[in-house]
Every structure is written in structure tokens, then in C-alpha cells.
């Protein structure tokens, strides 16, 4: 007896059923995505509304001075000062990097000040200086020069860490007669990761969403996450972060980032190119200069080889076993290296 075959018309009959199932699954997935988006958005907006920090915080130490920018605006600039202001030794002006402040110099400045006056300046946006709403290299270099003039510092040497290298380099280009020299510390003054153009539209959009603000506040509200970044950036030796003093340093470092003005400035950086000079501008610097680098800092502030090449192979020093935060990894080693460089700096040929 032969078996009856399945009619060929059965397969076409099943196709509408499959399409219906696919559409049903697609609608459920879409509803889930939309629901998740709405819930996350509501939670983010609610969290932001409940955690709004003060517009500005008072600095626990140091002082402020009014500085007039080149466009005529006047802003308040915070600075810290160590050593004998009446000393005849060449002053040092310390300029921090991205997401840093004068706190980043707190372990090395007192030692450096044994021999000379030392001043650390808060750049606008991450310390206690007033943020003008415009993130530009011109403004930041004006702040540094303004403090030099206000405190009547006689031709100081400027030390710029990471992004601060671009700032001190800009001062050297525009006002070489006002300073004695510059030191690039763990920074080559060039665009971060080679990006010198405008950020992508996606990055600019994300920076303006409530989610970016929520993530920023979560990252700066507790010290757990910043401490992990510090440990990673410090290197295999990290004397400055040991014990309770290390915890206190991290908290003092993060505190100014909890201001509303700091939030605005930090989110603005995602909407603008990172402050930088071009290789041609670095090569045009003619004041005495030097390079100081953490031995294990391979990418944090750019290329050591690039900094040395563009500056014409000036005197250079290494902080052994230190990463990008070389002044925290080994404060004593950083001071020895910097003091050794200051007597060997020469102008460009």
C-alpha cells in the first residue's frame, strides 16, 4: 500500500504564519527596547535632579586672583603657593593636566619649594578656577600668564604635566620674554590620540544627554572608580597612594570635579578637540626646555620620543618605575629628576 504524499500547497500555507510570528516577536522586542529606554531616561533624569552639586566649591587652601583674558573678560583663578616669595632663585609655575588640579602637585611642590618659590595654577574646568564657558587653549594660557603677572614672578620656569604641556608651550610661543623655560612632563603637547579635528556628531550628541551626566556623577561621587584609574596610571611603584594619605589625596583630587562648573567643562571637552599644539608649533619653541617622563608611561600623555624630537632633543630625565602620574608614583624621584633638569636646560639652537 502506498502512503499519500503531503500536498505541496502546505508549505505556502505556513509562510503567512511564520511572518505573523516574526512580526509579533519584532513588536515585543521593540516594545521592550522602548520601555527600557523610557525607564532608563526617567531614572537618569530623576538621579540628576536629586544629585545636583553646588555650582562652585570653596578651595580648602590657596588663594584666588582676578585675571583679564585677551578678549576682555575677567575670571577668578585659583593658585597655591609654597616657598619663600622673596627668594632670588628662579620661580617654578606648575600646570596640571586633564581632570587634574593644583592637588596633583601637592606631594612634590613642598620639596621643590626648599630651593625656590613654587606656584601651582588651577586651569579652568577641573580645579577651583572660574570656568568661563569657553574651553580654549588661549584662555588657559592667559590664566597661567595672568597669575605670573599678578604675583610678579620674575621669569619663572613653567612645568606642564600631560595636557598642561600644551598650555606651557603656548605661553612659551606667545611670551618667550616672560619666562625662563618650560618642562614637558609626561606630555608632548600634541592632539590626544592624534585627534585634532572636531569630535564626531555621535560623541557630541552623547555628551549632551542626561546619561552622560549621570555616568559622570556616578564616577566622581565615590572614590572607588577614580582610585582604580589612579592605580592604573601610577605605574608599578605608587608611593603617593599608599595608606590613608593616599585615600585622602584621591578624595582631594576628585573634590573639585564634583562642582557643577566642572561637570559642564568636562562634558564640554567631548564636544571640542582636546587642547593641543601642532608639531610645527612645538618645533617653533625657542626658550630653554626639557622633557621629564615616567619610565612606564607609554601612552598617557602622548609620545616621549615625539616630545623630544619636536623640542630638538633637549635635556631629558626619567622617573623610574613610574607611569603617567609620575609626580604621584615617586614624588622624591620626580623632584630629583626635575631639579637635575633645571640646571641643564638650554634654548633651541
Cβ burial 14-27 (10 Å sphere, 16+ → b, else e): eeeeeeeeeeeeee
Mean pLDDT of all residues in 191-213: 69
Contact 256, 262 (CB under 8 A): yes
Calculate what percentage of the chain has a pLDDT beyond 70: 92
Q: Which of 13-27, 96-110, 121-135 has the highest mean pLDDT?
A: 96-110
Contact call for residues 94 and 113 (beta carbons, < 8 A): no
Write down the pLDDT at residue 200. Answer: 59
Query: Does 7 have pLDDT greater than 80?
Result: no
Domains plus CATH for the chain? 55-349 (3.40.50.1820)
| 210 neighbors 271 (Cβ within 8 angstroms) | no
Grid cell locating 204: 557630541
**Res 272: pLDDT:** 75
Burial track 324-333 (b if 16+ CB lie within 10 A, e otherwise): bbbbbbbbeb
pLDDT for residue 8: 52
For residue 8 the three cell numbers come to 505541496
Mean pLDDT along residues 40-49: 91
Start-to-end CA distance of the chain, whole Å, equals: 105
Q: Give the pLDDT mean for 71-95.
A: 95
Q: Residue 12: its pLDDT value, please?
A: 60
Residues forming a β-bridge with 144: none
Model pTM?
0.89
Q: How confident is the model at residue 194 (pLDDT cuts 50, 70, 90)?
A: very low
- Dihedral-angle region of residue 48 (phi above 0 means left; psi in -120 to 50 means alpha; beta otherwise): alpha
Does the structure show a pLDDT above 70 at 201? no
Amino acid at each position: 500500500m502506498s502512503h499519500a504524499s503531503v500536498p505541496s500547497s502546505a508549505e505556502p500555507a505556513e509562510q503567512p504564519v511564520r511572518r505573523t510570528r516574526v512580526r509579533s516577536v519584532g513588536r515585543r522586542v521593540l516594545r521592550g527596547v522602548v520601555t527600557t529606554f523610557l525607564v532608563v531616561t526617567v531614572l537618569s533624569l530623576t538621579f540628576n535632579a536629586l544629585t545636583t552639586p553646588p555650582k562652585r566649591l570653596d578651595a580648602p587652601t590657596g588663594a584666588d586672583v582676578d585675571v583679564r583674558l585677551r578678549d576682555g573678560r575677567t575670571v577668578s583663578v585659583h593658585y597655591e603657593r609654597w616657598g619663600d616669595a622673596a627668594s632670588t632663585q628662579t620661580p617654578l609655575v606648575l600646570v596640571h593636566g586633564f581632570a587634574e588640579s593644583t592637588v596633583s602637585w601637592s606631594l612634590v611642590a613642598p620639596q621643590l619649594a626648599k630651593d625656590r618659590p613654587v606656584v601651582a595654577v588651577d586651569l579652568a574646568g577641573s580645579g577651583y578656577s572660574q570656568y568661563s564657558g569657553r574651553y580654549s587653549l588661549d584662555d588657559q594660557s592667559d590664566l597661567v600668564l595672568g597669575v605670573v603677572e599678578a604675583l610678579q614672578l620674575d621669569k619663572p620656569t613653567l612645568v606642564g604635566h600631560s595636557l598642561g604641556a600644551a598650555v606651557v608651550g603656548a605661553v612659551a610661543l606667545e611670551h618667550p620674554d616672560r619666562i625662563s623655560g618650560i618642562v614637558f612632563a609626561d606630555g608632548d603637547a600634541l592632539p590626544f590620540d592624534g585627534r585634532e579635528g572636531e569630535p564626531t556628531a555621535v560623541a557630541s550628541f552623547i555628551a549632551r544627554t542626561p546619561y552622560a551626566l549621570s555616568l559622570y556623577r556616578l564616577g566622581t561621587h565615590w572614590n572607588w572608580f577614580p582610585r582604580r584609574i589612579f592605580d592604573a596610571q601610577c605605574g608599578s611603584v605608587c608611593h603617593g597612594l599608599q595608606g590613608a594619605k593616599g585615600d585622602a589625596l584621591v578624595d582631594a583630587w576628585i573634590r573639585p570635579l564634583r562642582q557643577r562648573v566642572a561637570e559642564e567643562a568636562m562634558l564640554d571637552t567631548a564636544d571640542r578637540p582636546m587642547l593641543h599644539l601642532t608639531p610645527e608649533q612645538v618645533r617653533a619653541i625657542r626658550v630653554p626646555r626639557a622633557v621629564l617622563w615616567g619610565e612606564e608611561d607609554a601612552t598617557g600623555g602622548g609620545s616621549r620620543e615625539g616630545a623630544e624630537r619636536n623640542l630638538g632633543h633637549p635635556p631629558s630625565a626619567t622617573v623610574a618605575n613610574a607611569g603617567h602620574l609620575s609626580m604621584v608614583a615617586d614624588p622624591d624621584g620626580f623632584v630629583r629628576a626635575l631639579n637635575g633638569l633645571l640646571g641643564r636646560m638650554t634654548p633651541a639652537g
